[in-house]
Structure 1
Amino acid sequence: MEAIRNHTGFIYPLNRDNVDTDQIIPKQFLKRIERTGFGQFLFYNWRFDEKGNKRKDFSLNDPKYSRATILLTGHNFGCGSSREHAPWALLDYGFKVIIAPSFADIFYNNSLKNGILLIEMDERQIRSWMEKAERSQYHLQIDLEKQQIRDEENNIVRFNFPEEHKEKLLNGWDEIDLTLKLNDKIAAFEKARGIIA
């Protein structure tokens, strides 16, 4: 998993509440066995029509958001099923950070395990940044270590973040990495139990 300490990126504003995982990645695209390649199907039913042509009325198809790596969205993002393909699709598309007033629990944990930084933020602040990003390209600078966000006007907004998740993201550690850090203790235990010679 790639470590994330500081991230500067353009915003994509998705001003919708209760975006569920079937909207993030529709079920017909879950047959792949790899964890990559799902980005092309992100928000598929919103981005494309029945013939596979890009819809002009969905904002992510606007060229000004083509380099966006920060997703701003509404309440309860990632609700619905527990599919891990949703964070895979978001990450594969290029989103590194998602900022919302609230997240669905399973989606929240799945995303953190895959290295996406999820930040819960006051809705009024999100709306303010969304409005700016809707007018023109707008970027934020995020410092996970200091737990703060700097906007283009040099305003700094602090955010809360669980310490146990912070350490994992700062170091790029997934659950396998954490287990391997205990390799000596695991080997000693196995030797004491006669599992290994």
Structure 2
Amino acid sequence: MTLVERMLRKYQSCATYLDTGDTRTESVDDTGQRATETITFVTTYRRPRIRFEFETRTGNPAKATRHAFWSTAAGVEDDERRSGGPGTYPSIREAAAAFAGVSHRSAFVPALLDGATFGGGTKFTLIGKEDIDGHTCARVSIGESRGPRNEIWIDLDTFLLRKRVHGHRRGPDKVAAEAITALPTELQTHYRERVLPGYVSETTTVYRAPTCEEAR
């Protein structure tokens, strides 16, 4: 059994699970504009229910936003029942992706607790061993080396994650911009294309004090 398989089985065997941590994303677009976003999170799990809470910060404490969602028999519900949204999602991962920013990346462990796995053709490469907060971890690369960086650090004592780094690259994106012109007798709407610059981002997630009590 590989290290990754042991990690997946560990999360799937948890009767209860708890962690805290933070996710930090740094990005730069094709114009040189840089941005940083930090998310702190708490995951609590008692089979078969998951509760995931996170706070998004952009450097201004007054603009911090807090969210939570949890699994139910009907699916996954969020705490806001966001206007225009379904309120219930089929999975933790899809619920997290509904929020702005990089919250879906911090929800990687809740997705594993919810039974998520990697695709059958996914390539894993053991880079070596590293110490994370006093714990010896296996550093594993996911996917092809020529793609964006995607690595996980697996605690060799518990087989729980201690760290994850996930890179992303998006090319320029064309969007329609709307302009309304007031004429003497009517309003006219004109549409033109504008191009959003591409960007490169890298997200680092650190899991602190993850604990799992396995089902007996």
TM-score where L is the length of structure 2: 0.23
Q: Which has the higher contact order (CA 8 A, sep 6+)?
A: 1
More strand by percentage: 2
More helix by percentage: 1
